[in-house]
Structure 1
């Protein structure tokens, strides 16, 4: 059982008490209307912190540094983030620059360098323009209002077409706890993290170990279940920070308050993940894939992810082609336990396959369903109770054109 969870109007990462944020344009990216490329999230009170990171074997120095500074019983005050430059594959200079960025931010905020984290996102193989960092990090004004969160959300964008922000709240014994989040991501997105950054902040007081287990489970069901183009990034970072500013008892697992907190974090992460898939480079449609009746939840998660990531499924959705054979192929290549003769398949609740075989249906109705902004694919395996969902987007000519000239 969980307590009621409510949406916070105009929610963002600063909706949680005690968090402030801001962003500026430093000139790392090309200029544009209201464009930002450098931001900070800050908590005056030290935060318990949890993190998940890219599983690529080539990773940014910022990821390496954050991994060193995030762990059980460690606390942080701030994270500084730049967009437009990944600080990846630049040799030893990458770590030197990452550490200097945290030093500059820490001095600006009056906190410890070791309690400051850093993220970068953008083009790989380009060094951070530290002259700009030295000039503009001290100019970042952090505020605890919605505007501060919005400015930070703009600062972390790369090819994104819009910001991604949310907050939810719940009450425990008369004390309101808030979980707010922000993310970026649009391309180089594939399960097991992607070219994405996400920051979740809560004013709940949370045990450090429980904070990490909560984030890991939420990421498993959200960010690790999205795909845009099958490519995994070098910079992926998700951070969850808890400063305890709401007051109330510590959340440490095993009770209703802990279950509610975990569900609130999951909801925030799921929303941010879906918005990344929706905002995929060149995308015109969000694809949601549900697999139910699997032998286990893990099988269902794997199969739904395989289908959402399939290039052939993506192109079929883009072309409004009810080619259910591609869906079968994608589920089958997940190599999970199934019985082909028991599989049912649906497009936006219209059944097109029963017991492993195509059935008579109104083709135009399915074509029309595939023309919507959101396309729901459901595969019922009918051999167990396993359930999983994944999200992707269609693959269009615009994606190819955009990425063929990304750096030129």
Structure 2
């Protein structure tokens, strides 16, 4: 990712939240023009009250953001805590205290443990680097994924870069609708011009967004511009401002869509366009009303093309506001299928319902009352939204050191629930005791800190109840990031990474030296997992040969020729959990980068595993948008033949058939983004993914 010149980011775990980074810093090596937009909620958090008095301004150098505590409705002490944190940053960076802004997100009404942030400040400053990824992770709360993006644009012959990190998942409603975002740019632009451009960008991005209609106390979008790109400072309207504003608009729109797609409990992004309106403001207001309708959102969750709810929500808002439109004259399309045009239209409901299972659902309403149009974004309303928010504060406890944690112990749930849980699980625990299973660990579960921790808890539990797991991990995203930092680039052919002699050293460094080591450390964190990290080269575990794919030389990419079963048997018999890095050794003495899915499959066959589990970023095997919970190898082959399974899933499906034919009893495809998906699949009646049997 491109980053603007002169900006650094960092993140640390200060102890506000357990087991994850919770404080981020964005720092400019030179003074910035700064502007911001803030929540219109009158119950403003302390950092918002502090920052809105000081912006727009020159001379800003840093923004410090904490998650886990909103520092909202905390009285005069809240403002004192803001001052304490900002002064700590200024002291460590040796910059004026007035050059530091702050933002907070998390639980409302709990005093910010400023002393914990102050204590973490040396580590926060020491870890500053030109990489926004750690900061993007640290500001997350109920987000399920990091949100960051960049844009580049030429202004006055100079390349200007804009990079944004943001978070937002719940309490998202227009004016403002972003929770927290920090845009950093090396463009030279005056503060008042920056403020105007930011306000304009907000109008068609974050202010066109709704998840649940509840406006946060802490919403803020900061923009910092340090001028390091060297362009002539933008001080007036003109071509330079137009180019900068277009890039800022596009960046903010992407971030707004990512927030909507990651709304609490969301399964789909909802994209509403209202066109043919008398004015753009009317179109935007009606689009937001439709995107925020609970009935529309529930219909989208159920893949129900209920155009009546769409027109009802628009009609209700238009009637309340007195807009000169007639909903009955409108035309409505869902996923580009016309469903209403001054009267209901005939359409293939089964086909449209299947298309509404896609990750993004587009609804277009043409009012036929003018030339103006606008877009708004939201998400569907799922059962999980209620689960996430029903006990949000009742299970939040304040720790003795001032931090907060969620007390989600089983004792907090009803006796009926606990009895059912134990009864469901007991039979499976008895059935699987002594079972060998191989788990391919990849996707989002490897990226988000909370999911890493939950995965490790699952592995410890499997071992505790008598299963014998082997973990094979991937590491593609980190390999790509490392290569790019070293000046290389990622190239793929049909899902296989092209790996030259220099790249394979980076692959080994990342997989064996970084990913494997971190995972083993997490698994052994409480001393119970007995995890042992091994490279495929250790003990001759994975023998490989060069893979040539459809006549294309992929470099040092290999395929497994042999697995040292005795080596794994030795570890398993001693009670260890082998954690395997997918690097193999060839007969020619060369190291080979091997697809982790294939390594997991070969290991499962070699040790006679009863189960092979793949963790990825998809729910499982889908047909017409619906998850298939159970199927046989014959069913899977039929889905390949009829074209239902295609793309990257096709190669995985063929690998599954090969594994089943080699004696592995069952394969499970699970969504690694779902907490405790392994436990949910193996120890409950319904499971959570796709279970394929021989």
What secondary structure is seen at the aligned counterpart in 1 of 2:163? strand
> Who is 1:398 aligned against?
384
> Who is 1:94 aligned against?
78
> Who is 1:238 aligned against?
221
User: Does residue 1:300 correspond to 2:288, yes or no?
Assistant: no
> Who is 2:339 aligned against?
352
Q: How do residues 154-165 of structure 1 correspond to structure 2 at under 5 angstroms?
A: 154-165=137-148
> Who is 1:27 aligned against?
15
> Who is 1:3 aligned against?
none
Greater per-residue helix proportion: 2
What secondary structure is seen at the aligned counterpart in 2 of 1:69? coil
State the structure with more CA Rg: 2
> Who is 1:340 aligned against?
327
- After superposition, give the CA deviation of every residue in 1:163-203 in whole Å (9 maximum; x if it has no partner): 10111111134311111111001111111113610010110
Corresponding residue to 2:361 among 375, 387, 403: 375
Alpha-carbon spacing, 1:123–1:195, altered in 2? closer, same or farther (3 Å)? farther
Structure-2 separation of matches of 1:398 and 1:248: 48
Q: How many residues align?
A: 389
What secondary structure is seen at the aligned counterpart in 2 of 1:270? helix
Alpha-carbon spacing, 1:130–1:237, altered in 2? closer, same or farther (3 Å)? same
> Who is 2:305 aligned against?
322
What secondary structure is seen at the aligned counterpart in 2 of 1:132? helix
Structure-1 separation of matches of 2:391 and 2:207: 28
Structure-2 separation of matches of 1:301 and 1:78: 34
- After superposition, give the CA deviation of every residue in 1:232-291 in whole Å (9 maximum; x if it has no partner): 100001011110000021123432221010010111111111111110111100000001
Structure-1 separation of matches of 2:26 and 2:360: 33
Q: Judge conservation of contact 2:69–2:104 (CA < 8 Å) in 1.
A: yes
When normalised by structure 1's length, the TM-score is 0.93
User: Does residue 1:387 correspond to 2:373, yes or no?
Assistant: yes
User: Does residue 1:135 correspond to 2:119, yes or no?
Assistant: yes
Structure-2 separation of matches of 1:248 and 1:120: 33
What secondary structure is seen at the aligned counterpart in 2 of 1:47? strand
Structure-2 separation of matches of 1:333 and 1:179: 39
Which is bigger in relative contact order (C-alpha 8 A, separation at least 6)?
1
Q: Judge conservation of contact 1:277–1:391 (CA < 8 Å) in 2.
A: yes
Q: Which runs of 5+ in 1 are unaligned?
A: 1-9
> Who is 2:94 aligned against?
110
Which contiguous aligned blocks of 4+ residues in structure 1 show a shift greater than 6 angstroms?
none
What secondary structure is seen at the aligned counterpart in 2 of 1:358? coil
User: CA shift at 1:207, angstroms?
Assistant: 1.6
> Who is 1:6 aligned against?
none
Structure-2 separation of matches of 1:353 and 1:329: 13
> Who is 1:80 aligned against?
64
Structure-2 separation of matches of 1:109 and 1:62: 20
Structure-2 separation of matches of 1:287 and 1:220: 18
Structure-2 separation of matches of 1:343 and 1:130: 54
Q: Judge conservation of contact 1:69–1:115 (CA < 8 Å) in 2.
A: no
Corresponding residue to 2:266 among 258, 280, 283: 283
What secondary structure is seen at the aligned counterpart in 2 of 1:334? helix
Alpha-carbon RMSD across the aligned residues, in angstroms, is: 1.2
Q: Judge conservation of contact 1:23–1:151 (CA < 8 Å) in 2.
A: yes
Structure-1 separation of matches of 2:189 and 2:225: 6
User: Does residue 1:16 correspond to 2:4, yes or no?
Assistant: yes
